[in-house]
Structure 1
Amino acid sequence: MKIGYTTGVFDMFHIGHLNILKRAKENCDYLIVGVSTDELVENYKHKTPIVPFDERVAIVEAIRYVDQVVPQVDRDKVAAQERLGFDIMFVGDDWKGSPLFSQVEETFRQRGVDVMYFPYTKGTSSTVLREKLEKIN
């Protein structure tokens, strides 16, 4: 059985979120999704999610492509792999070549864990939605 893993904030759930979850599930038998805690998002994005953590977890759990949801309390993908035992990690291609994922890819390669990048859904993101909402108000 191939175990997959992806993470995200999943704030203001939109088609880009659904696309990555659907594509991830097409490439594994069991999909684990890490949902970033509010504290983690505030720490590295310096903004508070609009949708609280518990509600974001409930939304992601309800998606048929998702087999298990876990809290993402830090960005340490290697520790997550050791804890969860996944075989493949799915990431949006906006992270490709970043220092964080270049290092993760090298460590995973040595462990036989694959990293698969998916195209970023153009024109939609939680940031874009947030900006649109701010213009309305």
Structure 2
Amino acid sequence: MIVYTVGTFDLLHVGHLALLEYCKSLGGILAVGVASDRVVNSYKPNVPVIPLEQRMEMLRALSCVDIVRPYDDLEYVSGCKELNADIFVIGEDWGNKPHNLAVEAYLESAGKQIKQVLYNPRTSSSAIKQHVRDQSGIVRNLKMAAV
């Protein structure tokens, strides 16, 4: 059984790890699609902090991950087909965008499963980035006060 999930995986954190371990528990092989900077920039205001090759290297180092593949287009059908994925795991913010509906239709027609998971409330890449910005502002203000 092949389980496939996709994401940016910028600033790898415990929420990512929990997702990947859950995905691995669903089947024998876990394949992870990693969004290129171009893909991320098509739906988020900023590109990732960590370059694509480094994000992929971090994922390859995890024992729960068997396959890591980049994707450069905001569509998931080709990845599911190439991997012959049995289960496609999505996040709670999935929505009804055309690329999402296309993979749902493909999976249903192919007799495959789609599983939706809730995000881990313990952390997120966005929260980590905001914390770094906040800390940077505190340090800058302390330096200014010391002058």
Q: For residues 38-117 of structure 1, what are the structure 2 equivalents within 5 Å?
A: 38-95=37-94, 97-99=95-97, 100-117=99-116
Task: Identify unmatched segments of 5+ residues in structure 2.
Answer: 137-147
What root-mean-square deviation, in Å, do the aligned CA atoms of Structure 1 and Structure 2 show? Answer: 1.4
Alignment partner, residue 122 of structure 1? 121
Shift of residue 39, structure 1, vs aligned partner: 1.9
Partners of 1:98 and 1:15 lie apart in 2 by 27
Map 1:23-34 to 2 at 5 A: 23-34=22-33
Q: Distance in 2 between matches of 1:127 and 1:98?
A: 22
Distance 1:51 1:136, change over 3 A: same
In structure 1, C-alpha distance between the alignment counterparts of 2:53 and 2:120, rounded to whole Å: 25
Greater alpha carbon shift after TM alignment, 103-112 vs 27-36:
103-112
TM-superposition CA deviations, 1:36-84 (whole Å, max 9, x none): 1122212221312111111111100001100010002122111211222
C-alpha distance in 2, partners of 1:58/1:17? Answer: 14
Larger Rg: 2
Match of 2:6 in 1: 7
Residue 131 of structure 2 corresponds to which residue in structure 1?
A: 132
1:22 is aligned to 21
Contact 1:34–1:69 (CA under 8 A) maintained in structure 2: yes
Larger CA deviation: 17-26 vs 77-86: 77-86
Identity of aligned residues (%): 33
Distance 2:100 2:119 in 1: 16
1:111 deviates by: 1.0
The secondary structure found in structure 1 opposite 2:43 is: helix
Offset from partner CA, 1:83-104 (integer Å, 9 cap, x none): 2211110112222x43343443
Give the count of matched residue pairs.
135
TM-score, normalised to structure 2, is: 0.85
Q: Aligned letter for 1:83?
A: E
Moved more, 39-48 or 113-122: 39-48
Aligned residue in 1 for 2:140: none
| Equivalent position SS for 1:108 | helix
Aligned partners of 2:5 and 2:31 also within 8 Å: yes
